[in-house]
Amino acid sequence: MKPIIQISLDIIDIDEALKTAAMAMRAGVDWLEAGTPLILAEGLNGVRKLREAFPHVPIVADLKTMDGGYLEAEMMFKAGATHVVVMARAHEETIKCVVQAGKDFSGKVMGDNLACEDKIDAAKMLEDLGCDYIVHHIGYDERRGIAAKGLRMPSPLDQLKEVAAAVQIPVQAVGGLTLEQVVKCPLYGAPLVVLGAPVTIDADAFKTADGNVEASLKMICDRIHGYGER
């Protein structure tokens, strides 16, 4: 699979999210993600506005679904999302419901192993239940809480190679990756690369990061897409 670059729009203002999405498209990003903060702030309207502005771009709705799987996925697919996210910690029946909604509405399902004790087994389970992608994820609160205790902050790169080797479907790594870590993801077996905090998003303010983000995005996109040309 050639590398695909997805930007996580963890932004609570829809106008800013649309501007950041347009900037990301200019820089070479392939997919847009309606991040959880955007969905909480704007709901289905946020996804609809992204779809109206970018009619041909894949849109991931980061629902982090834990229950009511079919209805949540159905609403997002009808609003214009092409992908939805369900949590591995959800009940097996919920994951099955989201997968069924994906089939019924021609969408794709991403299974997220956030907070699972065995992330490798969780990835295998999500694949077995019919998910199309794996999100290998170290959570925001988990990272900050561990770092506050003076311990080494965990990274999704820690087990990324093992997770990627354990499944046949594409994997992405999420969780506080630096710019240099992000561009290495395809080398770890994760061709679906997510750009979010701290590279493009200010995780504390839920807005676009300061600085020349577009130039950074273009550099990242050029480097990552370059892997697919080798």
Residue 208 is predicted with a pLDDT of 64
Residue 114 is predicted with a pLDDT of 98
Written as six digits, the tokens of 11 are 């932004």
Residues in the chain, pLDDT under 50: 205-206
122, exposed or middle or buried, with CB in 10 Å at 0-12, 13-18, 19+?
buried
What is the per-residue pLDDT across 138-159, written as a single tens digit (0 to 9) for each? 999 999 899 999 999 999 999 9
Yes or no: say if 154 and 160 are a contact pair by the CB < 8 Å rule: no
Q: Is 134 left (phi over 0), alpha (psi -120 to 50) or beta?
A: beta
Residue 52 is predicted with a pLDDT of 98
CA pair distance 163, 217, nearest whole angstrom:
26
Residue 66 is predicted with a pLDDT of 98
Write the CATH number of the domain with boundaries 4-227: 3.20.20.70
Residue 116 is predicted with a pLDDT of 98
155, exposed or middle or buried, with CB in 10 Å at 0-12, 13-18, 19+?
middle
What is the per-residue pLDDT across 42-67, written as a single tens digit (0 to 9) for each? 999 999 999 999 999 999 999 999 99
CA pair distance 29, 114, nearest whole angstrom:
24
pTM over cut 0.85: yes
Residue 216 is predicted with a pLDDT of 84
DSSP H helical segments within the chain, as ranges? Answer: 14-27, 36-42, 44-53, 69-79, 92-104, 119-128, 140-148, 160-166, 179-184, 213-227
Domain layout of the chain by residue ranges:
4-227
Using alpha carbons only, give the angle 73, 75, 78 rounded to the nearest 5 degrees. Answer: 105
Q: How far is CA 197 from CA 32, 64, 206, 209, in A?
A: 15, 17, 9, 8
Q: How far is CA 112 from CA 64, 115, 172, 175, 201, in A?
A: 8, 9, 10, 12, 20
CA pair distance 4, 149, nearest whole angstrom:
35
Residue 213 is predicted with a pLDDT of 82
CA pair distance 230, 211, nearest whole angstrom:
31
